[in-house]
Amino acid sequence: MKHAASMLAAALLVATAGPVAAQCIGDSDHNGFVNFSDYGGVAANFGQSCANKPYCGNGVIDGDEECDQANVDGATCLSEGFEAGTLACGADCAFDTSGCFSERFVDNGDGTISDRQTGLMWMKQYDDGSPFDKDTGYTWSIFNPSTPHQYNDDGTLFTTFWPIVNGVYGSCFAGHCDWRLPSLRELVDLVMPDESGAKIHPIFKSPCKPGCSGPGSCSCTSEDTRYLTNRTFVDESFPDNGVVWTVHFFHDEHHFPGQYHLAQLKPGAYSVRAVRDGREPFVLIR
């Protein structure tokens, strides 16, 4: 008992002599003091006043701290001058930008574009009349008058495009054989808002000149055709055809980039920007 009392007295003596450390450690209930209410508090700091002594590690942004633990006060890589990534808080309560990227999208030089934010790899498009032309349209389902209420995966998307890019007729596009349609979220995520309004990221449309082709020479996006997503379902408005979510990237008085619409599966033809290594599986919802 005497030993415990002497330890408490020594702790109080040390505390009244001045703070043991620059940090006010032990104030677990954040009431400004290290006292009996702070279960598990540091004995050497017992009795210490925390007034005007902000410290790093309490989850509260104090003094000249930029952040504290998970609290970054709404800051992002974008607000710190980067294009993408995940902003973190360092042990010194200063922003850790090691997870931020100055460029979100990277042209791989092989006909693909990588998204460092999501891990997705996108197929580039050209303006050369090839299967990869920005305006080449693909159908999901063939319209058959004898089966008007039925739609199948038998359009040119399945009979022409996927066999070409996924290696049925030879090599796979850019050496990868797992290309698929993007989800609605993935496709809309290509739109980058800026001061002049929303628009698709420049890497997907520049440079794009008539007749340009090849992996590294150009990158195009259709301004006339909607792009297919992987989400299909039956809608009472189109009982004979079924519908699919589509996205367009052109801008006029009626539309803005990233708008999405329902479109008929039969007999419509739409552009395809294939993707791989996505965060969502290719699932047909019917």
At 215 the pLDDT is 83
Q: Please count the structural domains in the chain.
A: 1
**Residue in 60, 62, 38, 58 with CA at minimum distance from that of residue 48:** 38
User: Dihedrals φ, ψ of 203, to 5°?
Assistant: -65, -20
Is the pTM higher than 0.85? The answer reads no
> Is residue 75 one of the residues assigned to a domain?
no
For residues 124 and 215, the answer to whether their CB atoms sit within 8 Å is yes
Residue 68 lies in a domain: no
Tell whether 173 is covered by a domain: yes
What pLDDT is attached to residue 249? 81
Is 14 in contact with 44 (CB distance < 8 Å)? Answer: yes
**Residue 104 falls inside a structural domain:** no
The pLDDT score that the predictor gives to residue 6 is: 44
Q: Is residue 171 part of a domain?
A: yes
Residue 154 lies in a domain: yes
Domain extent for 173: 110-276
**H or E, element range at 95:** strand 95-96
46 within domain boundaries = no
Judge contact between 54 and 65, C-beta under 8 A.
yes
Q: What is the pLDDT along the chain (286 residues), one digit of tens a residue?
A: 444 444 444 444 334 434 333 356 666 666 666 666 665 555 555 566 655 455 788 888 888 889 999 999 999 998 998 888 889 999 889 999 998 988 889 999 999 999 988 899 999 999 999 999 999 999 988 766 666 566 778 889 999 999 999 998 889 999 999 999 999 889 988 887 655 555 788 899 888 999 999 887 799 999 888 899 998 776 666 655 677 888 888 765 445 555 666 666 666 889 999 999 844 444 433 3
Is residue 33 a part of any domain in this protein?
A: no
